[in-house]
Amino acid sequence: MNLRWLGHSAFELISENGLNILIDPFIQANPACPLKINDVNPDVICITHGHADHFGDAIEIARNSDCVVISNYEISIYLQRHGINAIGINCGAYVTVDDVKIRMLDAKHSSSFDFEIGGGFAGNPGSFLFEFNDGFKVFHAGDTGLFSDMKFVIGEVYSPDVAILPIGNIFTMDPEEAAIAAGWINPKYVIPMHYNSFPSIRQEGQHFKRLVEKHAPDSEAYILNVLENKKF
């Protein structure tokens, strides 16, 4: 499995079979992402919640690449109205696409179409667990605060090998809460996201790394640069 950070919460995962999964496709307006929407060509887009910095360019990219979008039910209805092939699932459910099992799990946040005039309810926010053919599991937390099911559901039931966690503060966990979350989830590797894309969520990656050493001694933090690849 190959993982690439596109800045903010956008990640690309590529399975052994070559299935290209794009999570939270915030590309064009993402100050941290140097790519254009034509530079990505996913088979699957996964959207954690409705906010513009996660929903991003889902519609244009889905049209260009003719891919399927997996999101919560409310966002899937919205996408279907725009002619997109969308599968709506809810917390706890999974769908299998090619060689990857994609499960939606919980997040403590909000979800609205904040880019539309008047907003609008965009279902509940979620996170995703990706399970690959060899059993390797990657957890993408979406936007979230710390909550106890990170220990009891995500950690004990699903035990991901990699946890991608937001550390920016203001909209999500701060670095210390994220390090505590890492201790509860107890993955082999932790990757921080949702920081340094905007001035209000500026954080120091090395500071997070030290907090992970303190709160999650069995996990190793990888502080990625944007567009850096990590092979697992």
Nearer to Ni ion (CB atom), residue 15 or residue 127: 127
Stretch that binds Ni ion, among 99-107, 114-122, 139-147, 216-224 (CB under 5 A): 139-147
Nearer to Mn ion (CB atom), residue 43 or residue 53: 53
Nearer to Ni ion (CB atom), residue 8 or residue 51: 51
The CA angle 64-67-69, to the nearest 5 degrees, is 115
Decide if residue 143 touches Ni ion (CB under 5 A).
yes
Residue count of the chain: 232
Query: Is beta strand 11-14 parallel, antiparallel or unpaired with respect to 2-5?
Result: antiparallel
Stretch that binds Ni ion, among 67-75, 113-121, 137-145, 199-207 (CB under 5 A): 137-145
Q: Which does 140 bind (CB under 5 to 8 A by kind): Ni ion, Mn ion, none?
A: none
Q: What are phi and psi of 53, to 5 degrees?
A: -80, 5
Nearer to Mn ion (CB atom), residue 1 or residue 173: 173
**Residues at the contact surface with Mn ion, assessed by CB under 5 A:** 53, 143
Q: Which does 57 bind (CB under 5 to 8 A by kind): Mn ion, Ni ion, none?
A: none
Decide if residue 194 touches Ni ion (CB under 5 A).
no
Q: Which does 137 bind (CB under 5 to 8 A by kind): Ni ion, Mn ion, none?
A: none
Decide if residue 51 touches Ni ion (CB under 5 A).
yes
CB of 143 to Ni ion, least distance (A): 4
Contacts with Ni ion by CB under 5 A lie at 51, 143
